[in-house]
Structure 1
Amino acid sequence: MSSLGRLPLSIKLPLLTAAMMVLVGAVASQQVLRALARVQDERVQELAQLHVEGLSVALGPLVLRHDIWEVYDTLVRASEGTEGRRMILTAVAGDAGRVLAATDPRRVPVDSAIADLSVGAAALEDLTVGGANPVLRLLAPLTYQGRTVGQIVTELDVSDLLTERRQALIYLILGNAFAVGVLAFAGYLAMRKMLRPVTTLARQMTETRGAPRPIPATGIPRGDGELARLARTYNSMVGAVAAKAEAERRLAERERFVALGRLSSSLAHEINNPLGGLLNATDTIRNFPDRPEVVRQSADLLDRGLRHLRDVTRVALEQNRLDDGDRQLASEDFEDLRLLIQPEVSRQGLDLGWSVVLSPETANRLAAGPVRQIVLNLLLNACAAAEHGGRIGLSAATGNDQLSIEVSDTGVGMPKSALDRLLTDAPLSPGGGVGLRLVRDLTTGLQGYIVHERVGGVTCIRVILGPNSEAPDA
């Protein structure tokens, strides 16, 4: 039954139709066989009645006189007629129940008891062609001038009627099987044609490879039927999904530049402070070119400051790269993120907790770009939520071939709209950025999941990435 449930509709419906046709054919065949049996029984009863009535008229006086030779001669002549060819044996007895004559004297001797021959015989009204016995036995009274003067026992050969019934059964079976096969095949072709739009719709929905595709105009049925409206509705939905995806992509891109703008303002302070020291060092070198130790100290200061500026600009450029998806994740990526987020932490006077323990074998299975974007967005949201003087934390660790990233803050907690963006695929409500939805999309793309907790005044967002990552039951 379960295997039948997995069959496509274009096969199940013709099979159901074929089963109903088999049932109807079986009932119709039964009715035909019953009608044929009724006709055959009427023919045999009519023939037997004519045989008995004819013998009664011819043999009545002979039986009264017990004229054995005349009775035998009459029986032989009657058996040679057209009706008598079906009568393979006829025996006549007098009123005493003793046989006077029979068409086969050796089988039924004269003066034998007619009762021995009449065992299993049926009356005229009960005579019926049935079963596998090709011989019917009839027991009828011999009536002459209104009174019974003897008995007649006749055996009838009905083998031809049984053959006719078997042939009719075979023809019915073959005819029904042929009709069922032809009509089932025609039904299959018709259903395939009628369900072709549904098959096309199912294929378009299951073979999207990440993006739904509209049904071509040639695949939409003509007219304004249900299937045509279904196909047009699906194409409208595909267009709406594509428009929504494009809008979300643009919003995500906007959010990315907003985040970079926030970082740029912080990095400007990070770069501006060392520049003052570097300018002082150059002034010192100009003013004291004849003092080697002062020049050396100033040069060292210049070297350290320039190296720091180089690191800051390298990290900023690395974060802004769009073709970073193929590079593997490493511990240095988290150090870059720490350097990027440090100006924001310092500006708001936040306390930053940082713990990164990575296994190279696990980390190298993940692309650096998406992971960096996930962590940066969560850290920026944590900084905004913690407010001035708060505490944020990042913990990254590997285990069981998975990477666990946990970002926490001591803010007031995330509103429901933010949680919907982070934890569900609900449509984005007006207002607010899409950074949290970007985190969800990137996590889903890496086959991971997100867990939100609020314990003891601390909000914790945990992202689990890696093979076989499945969200725990709610």
Structure 2
Amino acid sequence: MKSLAAMPLSIKLPLLAAAMMVLVGAVASQQVLRSLARVQDARIQELAQMHVEGLSVALGPLVLRNDTWEVYDTLDRAAQGTEGRRMVLTAVADERGRVLAATDPRRVPMDSDIADLSGAPVELENLSVDGSGPVLSLIAPLVYQGRTVGQIATELDVSDLLKERRRALFLLIIGNAIAIGILSLAGFAAIRKMLRPVTILSRQMTETQGDPHPIPISEVPKGDGELARLARTYNSMVDAVAARSEAERRLAQRERFVALGRLSSSLAHEISNPLGGLLNATNTIRNFADRPDAVRQSTDILERGLRHLRDVTRVTLDHNRIDPENRSLTADDFEDLKLLIQPEVSRQMLDLTWSVDFTEQSHCVVAAGPVRQIALNLLLNACTASGRSGQVGFDVSLKADVLVIHVTNTGPDMPQAALDRLLGDGPLSPGGGVGLRLVRELATGLGGWVDHAREYDETRISVTIPMVREGMHAQG
């Protein structure tokens, strides 16, 4: 049954049509054979009745006189006249059933019981060519002038009728087989041609590895039939999906540019402040070169500023570098995040609450790159949502080999468009936070999930990521 269910529709339908034709052919053949049997039975009954009636007229007076020799002579002349015909044996008995004469006296002796004739004789109305044997046995009353004066038993050769029936059966089987074969091939070709658009549609939907392709115009059926409308509707759906995918790609690209612009703006602010102090220090050294204490103090300022610029540059490079080794998360990654987000916090004068309870474990790890991107995107959105002088919270903890990240802000609750991006997998609608869909995809890619809650005028986004056993991480 499984193999039949997996069979293409273009093969199952012709097979079904062939099976129906076989059934119809079998029923029709049965009806033909029944009709032939009825005709043969009528013919043999008519012939037997004529034979019995003829003998009754000729033998009636002889049987009444019990004239055995005349009865035999009459039967012998009748047998010679019908030589090569159906009547292979005829016997005549008196009223008591005792045989007076027979065409084969050695087989049916005189004065024997006619009921002992082999072949189980039947009456005329029950005579039938049933195929049980090539010889039929008949027993009928010998009626003369309305009076039953004896009995007539006859054996009829019906081998030619059986041969005719077998020949008819053979011709029916051959004819049905040829007709079914021709009609099956024609039906297969016709149905396959009719179902070709469905086959093409199935191939376009299943053999494109999740990326549907439109049906070529040359393969779309002509006219306005159901299959033609189906093919055109499918092409319209493919075009709509492609347009939506392109719109989502452009939207995601725009979001990346927005996030990059925000991060660049924050970094520029973070770098511009130390540069002003560095320029003042160099100006002090140039103007007060004869004062060692001023030069030493300015040199210290230069060193601290340059170290700060080096740290900001390193963290930025680490965050955007493609890490081929899939480095495991460490506590330093969260310190880098704090350094990256600090310019945005300072620019909007936010109150940042930072709590990281992350102890590196030898037996469980998680990839650093995706976690850093998740946290940075949520922090940037929280800073924007809080507004100037708002509050932003960042909390990281480990619970039973599960990494939990909480990001809170005191701004208004997230709009529905942003929630759809963060919590759903449907098409992106205009609006919503930057990078929220990326947060969801990264979290689910790590086997985790994202939750949202609004309590006490505070929005909380929670990301739960299971830690991976170190051996399994190495295999991956």
Seen in structure 2, the aligned counterparts of structure 1 residues 98 and 399 have a Cα distance that, compared at 3 Å, is same
Match of 2:472 in 1: none
- 8 Å CA contact retained: 1:123, 1:138: yes
Deviations 1:378-423 (A, max 9, x none): 22223334554534225387998xx856343154543433222222
* Corresponding residue SS for 1:308: helix
Partner of 2:462: 461
Q: Tell me, in whole angstroms, the C-alpha distance in 2 between the residues paired with 1:210 and 1:394.
A: 39
Once the two structures are TM-superposed, the CA of residue 119 in structure 1 deviates from its matched residue by: 7.7
Are 1:123 and 2:123 an aligned pair? Answer: yes
Aligned counterpart in structure 1 of residue 326 of structure 2, from 325, 328, 344: 328
Contact 1:121 1:138 in 2 (8 A): yes
| Cα deviation code 1:60-82 (max 9, x no counterpart) | 23222322223223323323444
Does 1:53 pair with 2:53?
yes
Which residue identity lines up with residue 26 of structure 1 in the other structure? A
CA distance in 2, matches of 1:416, 1:66: 120
Question: For the structure 1 residues 360 and 172, does the alpha-carbon distance in structure 2 shift closer, same or farther, using more than 3 Å as the test?
Answer: farther
CA contact (8 A) 1:97 1:114 kept: yes
Q: Does 1:232 align with 2:232?
A: yes
CA displacement 1:124-145 (0-9 Å, x = unmatched): 1111111523322111111223
User: Which residue of the partner structure matches residue 168 of structure 1?
Assistant: 168
Distance in structure 2 (CA, Å) of the matches to 1:447 and 1:162: 82
Q: How high is the sequence identity, in percent, across the aligned residues? A: 67
Shift of 1:355: 4.8
- Map residues 80-119 of structure 1 onto 2, 5 A cutoff: 80-82=80-82, 85-117=85-117
Mapped to 1, the partners of 2:363 and 2:220 lie a distance apart of: 51
Provide closer, same or farther for how the CA distance between residues 20 and 125 of structure 1 changes in structure 2, counting only shifts above 3 A.
same
Listed one character per residue, the Cα deviations across residues 422-459 of structure 1 (whole Å, up to 9, x for unaligned) are 22233434444553234345556x47563314286562
Contact in 1 for aligned 2:377/2:434 (Cα 8 Å): no
Residue 225 to residue 174, structure 1, CA distance change in 2 (3 Å): same
RMSD: 3.4
- Per mean C-alpha deviation after superposition, the further-off stretch among 10-19 and 116-125 is 116-125
**Structure 1 position 213 matched with structure 2 position 216:** no
Find the counterpart in structure 1 of residue 350 from structure 2. Answer: 348
Whole-angstrom CA distance in 2 between matches of 1:453 and 1:433:
14
Give me the whole-angstrom Cα distance separating, in 1, the residues matched to 2:249 and 2:96.
Answer: 114
Hey, what's the Cα distance between the residues in 1 that align with 2:298 and 2:398?
Answer: 41
The match for 1:470 is none
5+ long unaligned stretches in structure 2:
469-476
Q: Distance in 1 between matches of 2:122 and 2:179?
A: 40
**Range 166-175 or range 60-69, more displaced:** 166-175
- Alignment CA distance shift 1:174-1:464 (3 Å): farther
2:6 maps to 1:22 = no
CA contact (8 A) 2:417 2:432 kept: no
8 Å Cα contact 2:419/2:432 also seen in 1: no
Deviation string 1:244-275 (CA, Å, 9 cap, x unpaired) is 22222222222222222222332233213322
The 5 A counterparts of 1:379-398 are: 379-386=379-386, 388-393=389-394, 395=396
Contact in 2 for aligned 1:98/1:111 (Cα 8 Å): yes
Looking at structure 1, the residues matched to 32 and 452 of structure 2 have their Cα atoms a distance apart, in angstroms, of 77
Partners of 2:192 and 2:56 lie apart in 1 by 70
Looking at structure 1, the residues matched to 319 and 325 of structure 2 have their Cα atoms a distance apart, in angstroms, of: 12
Residue 147 (str. 1) matches residue 147 (str. 2): yes
Name the count of aligned residue pairs.
460
Partner of 2:474: none
Alignment of 1:188 onto 2:188: yes
Asked if structure 1 preserves the Cα contact closer than 8 Å seen for 2:259 and 2:434, the reply is: no
* Aligned-partner Cα distance in 2 for 1:157–1:399: 98
